Structure 1
Amino acid sequence: MSLHVKRIGALIGCALLLVSCSSKPPKSLVTPLPPVSKPGQQANEPMRGIWLATVSRLDWPPVASVNVSSADRRIDMQKQALKDKLDKLKSLGINTVFFQVKPDSTALWSSKILPWSDMMTGNIGEYPGYDPLQFMLDEAHKRGMKVHAWFNPYRVSTNTKPSTVTALNRTASQSPTSVFVQHPDWIRTAGDRFVLDPGIPAVRDWITAVVTEVVANYAIDGVQFDDYFYTETPGSALNDSQTFRQYGQGFASKADWRRHNTQQLIAQVSKAIKQQKPDVAFGVSPAGVWRNRSFDPAGSDTRGAAAYDESYADTRLWVQQGLLDYIAPQIYWPFSRSAARYDVLTKWWADVVKPTHTRLYIGIAFYKVGEPSRNEPDWTVNGGVPELKKQLDLNESLPNVSGTILFREDYLNQPQTQDAVSYLRTRWGS
């Protein structure tokens, strides 16, 4: 989800999965029903969230901070930048920050499993001089805001450059070492990145342990996985043929087996979180389209890249099985985008969660506001305010939509979004 890029890979899935829209979902396997509310928490308070990305230092920490010569100066710059951001978010009425704590195979918390993230210092494994997650929690909670720890489960690196390989290998002399060094048999290349192979059971156990470490040791309000499950591009497919031969017995197709693997991860992590701390919410932010109706009668009236067919993520099933406290589909298109209309998808998801206890938050493309686009000109009409207003109005009008999350924080500081920021302040701000 670093840039929530739409995937173009060929749609797979000749066999239609015929599922009745009206079929009653199975009883929850994992999540306690109804969801547990924290003392003093307004169960009906709408989600007004924002994603804060650390991968490639997109939103934080400031790029300039990593280049200063003094560690004290770097720490001061990073802490002050985060406090300033939280003050601004608070003034806009944002009540929840989705903070990227695992942008790749490194950590923004004190981990015994992952090395420290080079996002903080420029060097993998170097202690940044403070605990970024703990600092975020202290500062956000002080302001009455919640924090969900956002994990990219499978990504090991954002590229496969020789310099990246060298940096990962350099952790061999550190503790903890990178998973790249410790488990080379788990590493694959896909989408021009190093990733973990989702078909290996030990990989799912490892990811579960990583999440559980954070849940056990930090007062986080929630955990979120982004949309990067199986991530391939036409020119850089994941080679999991050997893994399929080893673990794929009994599956009609590799696609079904891959969906099963993703399902296993979600069920395992969900159960682990609930056993550790039942009041920590678990959610996923998938691509906005589950399946298109042309492939599946239960799908949406859309023509977009589908999570089921491209990421091998059966996101609708996870909701039906009660594996998630919330789902936050990325509905990153305007009302006028015929291939994936905002209202069509939002209403489709509202119908999916209706018979369940899963909350629905809608991910909105704040990064498109004010940006000229031939296919989506509405984002520039009157600074994008009318489109943003229409989307928020729809969210608030549908009883099964529990709130909105904006992608992503640094776009609040861009010149092209300032009309929309002012509008948010008047709509949500105190």
Structure 2
Amino acid sequence: MIISSRIHPFITRVTWTSALIASALLLGSCGSKPPKSLVTPLPPVAKHPLPNKPDDNRPVRGVWLTTVSRLDWPPVSSVNVSDPATRASQQKKALTDKLDNLQRLGVNTVFFQVKPDGTALWPSKILPWSDMLTGKVGEDPGYDPLQFMLDEAHKRGMKVHAWFNPYRVTTNIKPGTVAELNRTQSLHPSSVYVAHRDWIRVSSDRYVLDPGLPEARDWITSIVAEVVARYPVDGVQFDDYFYTETPGSTLNDSQTFRTYGQGFASKADWRRHNTEQLITQVSRTIKQLNPNVQFGVSPAGVWRNRSHDPSGSDTRGAAAYDESYADTRLWVQKGLLDYIAPQVYWPFARDAARYDVLAKWWANVVKPTHTRLYIGVALYKVGEPSRNEPDWTVQGGVPELKKQLDLNDALPEIQGTILFRENNLNQPQTQQAVNYLRNRWGS
């Protein structure tokens, strides 16, 4: 496996960083020995800021580019190409075509999913190669997708945030998936499923890491450290998958709670503490490695409903605090994030979770802080018939989209909009909205 040797220039000025990265990379090969904490305690921050670019304060006009299940990229057809060089060429061409289209649209920031599960879209020493690229976990695609994305996006004046799903190991628990993971036993690195089987749980009918294990949180932190140390990413983002459960597939972390949950009034409080620990570790580590890299989270749009908490929003939606065990409001108040990008995926007329109610609520949350606020908008709903949300189909969804963007521009606390997700820009039902965006955002 070819490992990129590209290191951020300023890294050499911070001597302890080499040790941290060495520890991070070592985790990939230590299957039987739990890793030591990489980030606790931390030395004082030694900041070496890079010169600010003139466009650093421009509003974010972003899009999420998904790789899980190849929803946006790479093209499904490319995976079946037998010649590695041809396959890589097709994937690169598909990506540059997308970036060209985004540039014409006026998008200036791409949130690129580099860790869709327990695999990587860069030559990692901790994670095996993603099967999204070749159809086989651990198979080298013959190029570095993350470096290619960075080179091509930066060439077009666009920023790139490396988007990680922290805890997800697989998207299902099928026997074929298990067999594929077991086949990585002889690889270096192998899947965390075989390297650290005792960290793995089942939740929402998929394999996940147990967030209550300090070793698992350190391991995730090491993965982020590897990327931030080796690549000129503009930011790092975690999505909303922290604790993920369904009624029929809950996370069995009872033993972990017995081991680590002493002193907490409830398992729910302990779980929220675990999630905050991960956010704190990752935030500190990024700032130690490169204080110019932005760290953000894109949580569910509702923190808590007012019916459960007087500080919550006047909504009746699924709440991150109660369902994902993510106290996202507290993270903002504690200054753990450079930005937060709540997924406000409802129209103005959706009474249970009105767009304007939530956008204004989040604006008030960030107002006394230094955390930037970007709003995630539901491009995937545009043009899709919906009994509960008919506004998405009125005049191709343009009036609804216009109202949302107008509100984002009108509230000074909102410093950007992110569209979910890239491939929806290419669908027939969104073309009126896409033309509107091009006229509004494009140069």
Answer whether TM exceeds 0.5 for this pair: yes
CA gap of 1:30–1:395, structure 2 versus 1, over 3 A, is: farther
Q: CA deviation at 1:39?
A: 2.4
Q: CA deviation at 1:37?
A: 7.6
CA gap of 1:170–1:196, structure 2 versus 1, over 3 A, is: same
Match of 2:66 in 1: 53
Match of 1:17 in 2: none
- 1:317 equivalent to 2:330? Answer yes
Match of 1:26 in 2: none
Q: CA deviation at 1:273?
A: 0.2
154, 157, 170: which one aligns with 2:183: 170
Distance in 2 (alpha carbons) for counterparts of 1:271 and 1:96: 23
Distance in 2 (alpha carbons) for counterparts of 1:97 and 1:38: 22
Match of 2:9 in 1: none
In structure 2, give the amino acid aligned to 1:85. K
Distance in 2 (alpha carbons) for counterparts of 1:376 and 1:145: 33
Tell me if the contact between 1:199 and 1:258 (Cα under 8 Å) persists in the aligned partners.
yes
- 1:369 equivalent to 2:382? Answer yes
Distance in 1 (alpha carbons) for counterparts of 2:425 and 2:196: 40
Tell me if the contact between 1:30 and 1:323 (Cα under 8 Å) persists in the aligned partners.
no
- 1:211 equivalent to 2:213? Answer no
Match of 1:231 in 2: 244
Match of 1:220 in 2: 233
Distance in 2 (alpha carbons) for counterparts of 1:425 and 1:72: 34
Residue aligned with 2:139, SS: coil
In structure 2, give the amino acid aligned to 1:355. P
- 1:182 equivalent to 2:195? Answer yes
Match of 2:433 in 1: 420
Q: Show CA shifts across 1:338-385 (max 9, x none).
A: 000000000000000000000000000000000000000000000000
- 1:383 equivalent to 2:396? Answer yes
Of all paired residues, the percent bearing the same amino acid is 77
Q: Show CA shifts across 1:154-197 (max 9, x none).
A: 00000000000000010001100110000000000000000000
Residue aligned with 2:167, SS: coil
Distance in 2 (alpha carbons) for counterparts of 1:222 and 1:228: 18
Q: CA deviation at 1:30?
A: 12
Report the TM-score, using the length of structure 2 for normalisation: 0.89
Tell me if the contact between 1:54 and 1:60 (Cα under 8 Å) persists in the aligned partners.
yes
Q: CA deviation at 1:71?
A: 1.4
Q: CA deviation at 1:280?
A: 0.1
CA gap of 1:427–1:31, structure 2 versus 1, over 3 A, is: farther
Distance in 2 (alpha carbons) for counterparts of 1:85 and 1:381: 27
Return the structure number with greater relative CO, CA threshold 8 A, min gap 6.
1
In structure 1, give the amino acid aligned to 2:65. L
Q: CA deviation at 1:70?
A: 1.5
Q: Show CA shifts across 1:314-347 (max 9, x none).
A: 0000000000000000000000000000000000
Q: Show CA shifts across 1:213-234 (max 9, x none).
A: 0000000000000000000000
CA gap of 1:38–1:60, structure 2 versus 1, over 3 A, is: farther
Distance in 1 (alpha carbons) for counterparts of 2:204 and 2:51: 40
Q: CA deviation at 1:76?
A: 1.0
Q: For 1:101-120, what aligned pairs fall within 5 Å after superposition? A: 101-120=114-133
Distance in 2 (alpha carbons) for counterparts of 1:214 and 1:68: 28
- 1:92 equivalent to 2:92? Answer no
Residue aligned with 1:243, SS: helix
CA gap of 1:106–1:31, structure 2 versus 1, over 3 A, is: farther
Distance in 1 (alpha carbons) for counterparts of 2:382 and 2:311: 31
Structure 2, unpaired ranges of 5+: 1-41
Tell me if the contact between 1:30 and 1:274 (Cα under 8 Å) persists in the aligned partners.
no
CA gap of 1:30–1:412, structure 2 versus 1, over 3 A, is: farther
Distance in 1 (alpha carbons) for counterparts of 2:106 and 2:54: 16
Q: Show CA shifts across 1:281-314 (max 9, x none).
A: 0000000000000000000000000000000000
Residue aligned with 2:414, SS: coil
Distance in 2 (alpha carbons) for counterparts of 1:37 and 1:146: 15
Q: CA deviation at 1:31?
A: 12
- 1:305 equivalent to 2:318? Answer yes
Match of 1:343 in 2: 356
Residue aligned with 1:402, SS: strand
340, 359, 372: which one aligns with 1:327: 340
Distance in 2 (alpha carbons) for counterparts of 1:30 and 1:89: 41
Distance in 2 (alpha carbons) for counterparts of 1:30 and 1:249: 28
Q: CA deviation at 1:38?
A: 4.7
Q: For 1:249-328, what aligned pairs fall within 5 Å after superposition? A: 249-328=262-341
51, 57, 65: which one aligns with 1:44: 57
Match of 2:13 in 1: none
Q: CA deviation at 1:40?
A: 1.7
Structure 1, unpaired ranges of 5+: 1-28
Residue aligned with 2:315, SS: coil
How many residue pairs align between the two structures?
401
Match of 2:33 in 1: none
Distance in 1 (alpha carbons) for counterparts of 2:280 and 2:84: 41
- 1:161 equivalent to 2:177? Answer no
- 1:199 equivalent to 2:212? Answer yes
